[in-house]
Structure 1
Amino acid sequence: MGVRGLTTFVKNPSYTHDGSTTLLRPHQLSNTPVVIDGKGLLQWLYFENDVDCKHGGDYREYETICTEFIEALHQRGVKPFILFDGASNPDDSKVDTLLGRCRERIQDSAKIIDGDPESPKLRPPFTTAVFLKVLESKEVGYVFCDFEADSEIVALANIMGCPVIGNDSDFFVFDLTGGYIPLSSLRWKEARQLSIPCEKYSLDHFCQAYSMRREMVPLLAILLGNDYVSRETFDDLYHRVIKRSGNIPNGPNVRIPRTIRFLQSRQNFADGAKRLLKDEARRQGKEECIEKSLQAYHIAPESRYQAYLQQDPSMVDIPDCPLPAAYVDLYRRGAFPADYINLKFRNNRKKLLPNLVEDYIRPSCHLISQRIREAIYGILLHGLHDRAVQETGREGQDIKVFIVTGMPSLPEFGSLPNLERMIDLEEERRKVLVMEVLEVDHGRVQAIRDDLKLPVATTIYWRSKLDLPVTESGHHLMRVILLGIAICYSREDLNMDDVKGNLKEAPRVMNRTAVQAFAEWQSCMYYTMHLNTLVNRPYPTPDATKLYHGTLLHRIYATTRLQRDVNPDWVETDVLRGSPAALALFRHLDGVAQNQ
């Protein structure tokens, strides 16, 4: 959720009743629990620290940053509890917002690959997995909620009497007992010995600065536009009535102070103001959106997740979703994707595919992994005659809906089991299922160490389905991927400066074929990991920090492009010189992938 323009206004307010020049006050964070918006934090840590987005991600660097952040909190006695959004609301009340963001990310991807110097950032697909890995290793309490997390974050923070930390302007609207600390104000790298400098906001201060009653602030958020109702809904009301409220001259960002003045003049008639909003929305058929917006700012008196975060394993149920307990736990820990809950139990057959940096001239990078998703949908929708799913993905530089039907069976394995049967299925059978989906002979990967079986099988699948220009070699691209994996898995045994010294710098103008191929590989790996989870993890979950290093892959590709191959002799004498173990791993992976 987010209120349009509110973050900028809070930092630089105007026309305050008490002369305030900021609504954020200096604060030293220490010795307290905090409740954190997980999605906002993981995205902020990636973007604010300039981790690579252009080449598809650098997960190892991101892991280091996440670790340092959690350690900075712990060293100051700050105990974080992190809540993540779960499944989308069953009523699709935010579908327009989600589709709009999807379009924006497609445009962002296009700007990045076109080399726009002002290009925005796009979060790579495995950032959530890396972030959760750090939380697990640092024993941080976290949970994925049933639906959107905002109201649960607020409820838990108020029960604990502690601040909320996030990157969402909706938190300026909630009545938070311990206040709200925007992530942008958190100077955790400059932390003093005993505290972290930051800025804190309170609704009390806002209401004092504008002589406004608390119950009017959600109406302000609705009039400004949020994820449930667009600002344009109230354009006519603004120009007819609100714009004339108070003596505020034209200028930048005046809509907020004018709307505040309008609500100030009506706060003794709060119910009347609500009716005015509803009447305006009713004229456009959006009255229900107003109700949902008001409900979104309601604070529950208790938290559904407090016991779970305090290590009470009994809180595992998901309302109206009779998942086996093992899968519920995976869901709460972020391993069972939330949108699969909607697909299986809520008759919401819509799936938004993640946006990656890719070549918009080519078909979507997710087309190559469609077979894997067909198997996923077949398992989730087991027993149903209609197994069609509406996938929203990219076509050109816009979104398009594609109908993908879940597969009912596999030729060798037979009928795909449902999740309940999957729990009791022998591990060997589940391994066979995964490999048949990937169209890889089960015995082909037997000689590979367990933690690399899934990545190598996925790479073989990806290579078999690559659609390349005649000037490119799938054999070459596969070896680039395998060498990248060998290097990342052997990093502790290598002098990375020597490795990089034998590689060209990643070109400023990226090769579009390489960008597309690597995006397709990430898509295949992403959905293979989902499939492995649904099949009750017959293979170890791969460590994303060891699987993909975008700039490294593009440097390997740029260095070897003219030869259209990664010469094993060059790998031995130059790149992996001095590390027999890394060289042996590369040769082994290459031999299996080439079926030698």
Structure 2
Amino acid sequence: MGVQGLRTFIESGNRSDLRSWAFRDSRLIIDGCTLYYTLYFDCNLDQMHGGDYDAFEEMIILFFENLRDCDIHPYVVLDGGADHTDKKWDSLRKRKQEKINAAFALSAGKRANVLPILVKNCLKEADFEIAALAKEWNCPVLSNDSDFYVFNFSAGFMPMTHFQWKNVEVHRRTNNKFIQAKHFTVGKFCESFRMNPELLPVLATVLDNDYVKLPNIKSLGWEKCSMPDSEHTRIHDLLNWLSQFPEPDAAVSALVKLTRNKEKPLVQEALSQGIQEYKLISGYLAQFFDSKTISQAASSGPLQVLPKWTLSPLLEGKMSSSIIDALVHQRVSLTMQVEDFQLPCSSETSRPIRQVIYGLLLLGEQHTADKLELAVKTSPGTSKHFVEEYGRQQSKLSSQKVEAIKTTVMEGLQLETLWKEPHDVRLQVLLDTLGVSSEILKEIQPALQLQLFVTCYWLVNAHPLPSQVHLWGLLLGMVYGQFSSTPETQRDMLLKLKKLQTGRKRISLEHETTHLYSQWQSCLKWSLCLNRLLCFPVSEPEVARLYRGKLVHQFVEELRRGITLHSLLVKGSSTEQLFKQLKDAVVSLVGKDFLKKMRTGLKHRAAGKKQKNYSGQNPPIDELSSCFEHLTCEDIDDCEDDDDLNEKRRKSKAKDHKTENPDACHTIRTRHKVKACFE
């Protein structure tokens, strides 16, 4: 995750350590974490409204298409999960607080960078494996992580910030396509200082990288090597000082001698550990990429707590690294989102889903002696297991212990053999967790099941309670995502939605809407994780098609302002039919009464508007509320044209219009009891 100051030192304009390279026709190992962050942030995609996943997917596709055009063969290594030794935990906590600060800044309308919650599903800390693979294959690495300025492999390192992938160029003489890049090699860098490359890990350790923490070493006698008026003086001075030593042991001995007596053992240990971290030995990724087989090395060490059947999906990026964190450390770090920071963290809504995940991981594993000992330490005198979740309390990093739980159907399940369990058993675990009756399952087509199960779980468990406009906005977003990739000739049905998307440049950030959709995304993230752990009892939706933040927020804003669903959906079109299908599925899952008693979410008429005097009668229901009630309780196919509907409204009788309190049933809602809110 980086060596402090080294990247800016090397990439500064006064140095020539980065050399131009017309890169083509080669294997390329890509740091997946850098790829996600760089493509998302550099392409100016939405962050404030929860993310634009379809636009991000388009960037990903374009990126790999451009590599293919240049005969570049990419291998992406995902970077995530906590390091099993915990030596980076202090740095991770600090960065977690920084991410909270960034999300808080965005929620307040300020500039910051926050990666949307569904952008990636990562594996473990992968710097070492990337470097080992690069050495074994003799091919370069693409990343922004300054650790790669220290790893010594001959093919070198290309910073992502200088990789001009958007502009594929053509060589005038050969007509070969290439991407202009900057290239760094440890050998050439060390030549400029006449230094042994094996001394670079000593530099990284003294500069206080993520792996090793040293006492505050300000000056240990290398000022005499300093060049006057040089930038990044400390790094330059240290490099010059290190160059006088033939090998690392001599430099370590000198550093130890220059420290105070009481710190000598700590410095000796830390430096030795730091040097060891950068020694490259064969990893297990080469074998996996070449033959899709798992080496013995992959299933040993920290991953030995995992059943063998989980290793392949983990290595393929098809299973969340959170299961490693939960098993190895009994700790999970929650993703921060843009939301209302005066309310509890949006991840609170999805906690019951995570509790089932923890139950499958911790309560259904084989009880070896070391795991029983851990259980005793975790909760003395009981068989309970807990996972420490790191989230936020307002804008500060906080943690709390969350109990792993079992549903009835989970009794007797073992993690080691979970993949062998009958499909019906694994499916029932998912349905019980999301509060879905198996009787309704057949009414919903498989491709829509998980997204609708999650949506109904969110409707019942979110706080504040979602209104109808929040539900319609979410479903409209799903409709748009489903059809947005169809050929141009079939997009006439989307014209109204597209006009709404492009009609207004700036969408305000409404905190209630933002918080509710952050809760929905958190529920989807952990439901995907559970579905994968259960070996896909239901089909997994295309996440990039489910949510386009800015557009969904705009749907909500326009619906609140008075635009009708009829004006957004072309009558008789496939979009209208899909919306009806989604709406009917929601009704079948939560019931008509639930939807009818939801807040409409519509804005009230302007205060100065003249009102008729209905002496002795209840005031008429808002016209738009009537339209929503109509759409909720009747088929969209039966809706009249707008003129007929308006005429019908003018003739309608006055009805009661009661305003629900959105907080009224919060204290009595549970995962599985929808009706409790309204009894």
- TM-score between both structures, scaled by the size of structure 1: 0.87
Equivalent residue number for residue 516 of structure 1? 515
- Would the aligned equivalents of 1:446 and 1:453 in 2 still touch at CA under 8 Å? no
State the distance in 2 between where 1:259 and 1:275 align.
15
Q: Which moved more, 1:4-13 or 1:99-108?
A: 4-13
Aligned-pair CA distance for 1:222: 1.5
Letter in 1 for 2:62: E
State the distance in 1 between where 2:498 and 2:269 align.
57
State the distance in 1 between where 2:554 and 2:428 align.
36
SS at structure 2 position matched to 1:159: helix
Write out per-residue CA displacement over residues 388-442 of structure 1, whole angstroms, 9 at most, x where no aligned residue.
01111111111101110011333xx352622234223221222222111111222
Provide closer, same or farther for how the CA distance between residues 461 and 30 of structure 1 changes in structure 2, counting only shifts above 3 A: same
Aligned-pair CA distance for 1:461: 0.7
Equivalent residue number for residue 143 of structure 2? 166
Equivalent residue number for residue 123 of structure 1? 115
Aligned-pair CA distance for 1:238: 1.9
Provide closer, same or farther for how the CA distance between residues 445 and 482 of structure 1 changes in structure 2, counting only shifts above 3 A: farther
Equivalent residue number for residue 17 of structure 1? none
Equivalent residue number for residue 31 of structure 1? 25
Aligned-pair CA distance for 1:312: 4.0
Provide closer, same or farther for how the CA distance between residues 550 and 506 of structure 1 changes in structure 2, counting only shifts above 3 A: farther
Higher relative contact order (Cα pairs below 8 Å, separated by 6+ residues): 1
For 1:151-230, list aligned pairs within 5 A: 151-193=128-170, 194-230=177-213
Equivalent residue number for residue 382 of structure 1? 363
State the distance in 1 between where 2:467 and 2:442 align.
23
Provide closer, same or farther for how the CA distance between residues 224 and 466 of structure 1 changes in structure 2, counting only shifts above 3 A: same
Write out per-residue CA displacement over residues 295-353 of structure 1, whole angstroms, 9 at most, x where no aligned residue.
221111x3322121012435485215264444222111112222312433x3x111111
Question: Aligned Cα RMSD in Å?
Answer: 2.4
State the distance in 1 between where 2:38 and 2:571 align.
38
1:72 and 2:66 are equivalent in the alignment: yes
Equivalent residue number for residue 44 of structure 1? 38
Equivalent residue number for residue 134 of structure 1? none
Letter in 2 for 1:90: H
Letter in 2 for 1:158: K
SS at structure 1 position matched to 2:443: coil
1:96 and 2:90 are equivalent in the alignment: yes
State the distance in 2 between where 1:264 and 1:13 align.
23
- Would the aligned equivalents of 1:455 and 1:542 in 2 still touch at CA under 8 Å? yes
For 1:169-318, list aligned pairs within 5 A: 169-193=146-170, 194-230=177-213, 233-235=214-216, 237-239=217-219, 241-242=221-222, 244-249=223-228, 253-265=232-244, 267-268=245-246, 270-277=248-255, 280=259, 283=263, 288-300=269-281, 302-313=282-293, 315=295, 318=299
Equivalent residue number for residue 472 of structure 2? 479
Aligned-pair CA distance for 1:158: 1.8
State the distance in 2 between where 1:277 and 1:364 align.
46
Equivalent residue number for residue 18 of structure 1? none
Write out per-residue CA displacement over residues 350-405 of structure 1, whole angstroms, 9 at most, x where no aligned residue.
11111112221111010000000010000001256231011111111111011100
State the distance in 2 between where 1:251 and 1:558 align.
55
Provide closer, same or farther for how the CA distance between residues 576 and 100 of structure 1 changes in structure 2, counting only shifts above 3 A: same
Aligned-pair CA distance for 1:155: 1.9
- Would the aligned equivalents of 1:484 and 1:548 in 2 still touch at CA under 8 Å? yes
Provide closer, same or farther for how the CA distance between residues 580 and 299 of structure 1 changes in structure 2, counting only shifts above 3 A: same
State the distance in 2 between where 1:475 and 1:253 align.
57
Letter in 2 for 1:254: T
Letter in 2 for 1:303: G
State the distance in 2 between where 1:269 and 1:30 align.
36
- Would the aligned equivalents of 2:26 and 2:73 in 1 still touch at CA under 8 Å? yes
State the distance in 1 between where 2:545 and 2:274 align.
42
Letter in 1 for 2:113: K
Aligned pair count?
Answer: 554
State the distance in 2 between where 1:467 and 1:507 align.
27
For 1:408-427, list aligned pairs within 5 A: 408-410=406-408, 413=409, 415=411, 417-427=413-423
Equivalent residue number for residue 311 of structure 2? 328
1:81 and 2:62 are equivalent in the alignment: no
Write out per-residue CA displacement over residues 504-549 of structure 1, whole angstroms, 9 at most, x where no aligned residue.
6375540011111111100000000111111121001121111111
Equivalent residue number for residue 581 of structure 1? 574
- Would the aligned equivalents of 1:73 and 1:79 in 2 still touch at CA under 8 Å? yes
State the distance in 2 between where 1:434 and 1:178 align.
47
- Pair member with larger Rg: 2
Letter in 2 for 1:188: W
* Contiguous gaps of at least 5 residues in structure 1: 15-20, 130-143
Equivalent residue number for residue 499 of structure 1? 497
